[in-house]
């Protein structure tokens, strides 16, 4: 009787909270089994040269196909994977899989198709991280300079000696490094000159309004010029319309990525995209 009372009193005070934590726990336990059950899948989105539209590289984007939840997008599960530490084995799987895929396209097409992999802060700070990266490269046979690691400003801004040291190790191993979602953090910018980055990815929130908001156009122009004067390449993310491609070409933005060129695709569809795209290029 007392037990029953206690339970309903709890339910009365915080029904949403218990629901949320139940959902979280359920997701966590599903996530713990997801690797063994082969529920993760990589999608691939082309990154093209802005001036020619030719393929430069491809970004690997994680998807989780769960029988009960359907296809779960990364924004919904990466934060929980980070909190629980599950991002470490999951991230390892992503690296292995992405390198293997890039190597197989290289074999099939003879083209140097680099692959970009997103790295979250918890994963980056794990002591085994560089070992995991080197293992994925060695295991796949992918040349080191065909792997690009995307790191967000949030991670870089911790300003730690460890972060600097890991970036230096990766850079000296020939791995490409990029700053993802550039412009969304409260960045001090000074890190750009002290860390060995190769590429800046301008966040899609700026790119999307480049034709509507003159402030966004000015920011994108300024970022491109700044990056170039620091010797960095620039990728515009979230390119959806042709008009944006004209603007980006005119401003000398090196590389572009977005639905205008292609949505992220499962491996087999990306391979067909690749064949079609190459025919276009060769014609």
Contacts of 261 (CB under 8 A, 6+ apart): 46, 48, 53, 239
Instruction: Please state, in angstroms and rounded to a whole number, the distance separating the CA atoms of residues 250 and 228.
Output: 14
Measured in residues, the chain has a length of: 283
Instruction: Please state, in angstroms and rounded to a whole number, the distance separating the CA atoms of residues 222 and 24.
Output: 42
Instruction: Give the residue, chosen from 97, 181, 251, 254, that forms a contact with ligand C2E under the rule CB under 6 A.
Output: 181
Q: Mask of contacts with ligand C2E, 24-53, x by CB under 6 A?
A: ---------------------x--------
Residue closer to ligand C2E, measured from CB, 103 or 182: 182
Instruction: Give the residue, chosen from 53, 74, 89, 143, that forms a contact with ligand C2E under the rule CB under 6 A.
Output: 74
Q: How far is the CB of 280 from ligand C2E (least distance, A)?
A: 20
Q: Assess 118 for contact with ligand C2E (CB under 6 A).
A: yes
Q: Contacts with Mg ion: how many residues (CB under 5 A)?
A: 8
Residue closer to ligand C2E, measured from CB, 11 or 179: 179
Closest C-alpha among 237, 276, 261 to residue 118: 237
Instruction: Give the residue, chosen from 92, 153, 180, 251, that forms a contact with ligand C2E under the rule CB under 6 A.
Output: 180
Q: How far is the CB of 214 from ligand C2E (least distance, A)?
A: 21
Closest C-alpha among 92, 79, 95 to residue 126: 92
258 contacts 31 by C-beta, under 8 angstroms: no
Footprint of Mg ion on 167-206 (CB under 5 A): 171, 180-181, 196, 198
Q: How far is the CB of 169 from ligand C2E (least distance, A)?
A: 19
CB atoms within 10 A of CB 188: 11
Any bridge partners for residue 45, and if so which? Answer: 59
Q: Contacts with ligand C2E: how many residues (CB under 6 A)?
A: 24
Contacts of 145 (CB under 8 A, 6+ apart): 114, 174, 175, 176
Residue closer to ligand C2E, measured from CB, 22 or 142: 142
Q: How far is the CB of 283 from ligand C2E (least distance, A)?
A: 26
Instruction: Please state, in angstroms and rounded to a whole number, the distance separating the CA atoms of residues 201 and 233.
Output: 9
Footprint of Mg ion on 103-162 (CB under 5 A): 118, 150
Instruction: Please state, in angstroms and rounded to a whole number, the distance separating the CA atoms of residues 216 and 213.
Output: 5
Footprint of ligand C2E on 215-274 (CB under 6 A): 237-240, 257-259, 264
Q: Which residues bind ligand C2E (CB under 6 A)?
A: 45, 61-62, 73-75, 78, 91, 94, 118-120, 150, 180-181, 204, 237-240, 257-259, 264
């Amino acid at each position: 009787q007392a037990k029953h009372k206690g339970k309903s009193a709890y339910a009365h005070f915080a029904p949403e909270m218990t629901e949320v934590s139940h959902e979280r726990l359920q997701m966590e336990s599903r996530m713990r089994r997801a690797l063994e059950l082969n529920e993760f899948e990589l999608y691939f989105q082309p990154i093209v040269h802005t001036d020619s539209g030719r393929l430069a590289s491809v970004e690997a984007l994680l998807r989780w196909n769960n029988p009960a939840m359907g296809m779960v997008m990364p924004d919904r599960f990466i934060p929980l994977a980070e909190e629980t530490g599950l991002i470490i084995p999951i991230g390892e799987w992503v690296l292995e899989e992405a390198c293997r895929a890039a190597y197989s396209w290289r074999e099939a097409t003879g083209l140097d198709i680099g692959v970009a992999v997103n790295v979250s802060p918890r994963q980056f700070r794990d002591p085994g991280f560089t070992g995991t990266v080197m293992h994925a490269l060695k295991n796949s046979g992918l040349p080191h300079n065909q792997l690009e690691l995307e790191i967000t400003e949030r991670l870089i801004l911790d300003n730690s000696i460890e972060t600097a040291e890991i970036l230096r190790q990766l850079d000296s191993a020939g791995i490409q490094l990029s700053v993802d979602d550039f412009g969304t953090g409260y960045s001090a910018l000074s890190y750009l000159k002290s860390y060995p980055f190769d590429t800046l990815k301008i966040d899609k929130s700026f790119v999307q309004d480049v034709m509507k908001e003159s402030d966004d156009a000015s920011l994108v122009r300024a970022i491109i010029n700044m990056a170039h004067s620091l010797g960095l390449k620039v990728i515009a993310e979230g390119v959806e319309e042709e008009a944006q491609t004209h603007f980006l070409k005119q401003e000398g933005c090196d590389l572009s990525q977005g639905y205008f060129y292609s949505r992220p695709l499962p491996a087999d569809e990306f391979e067909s995209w690749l064949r079609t795209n190459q025919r276009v290029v060769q014609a």
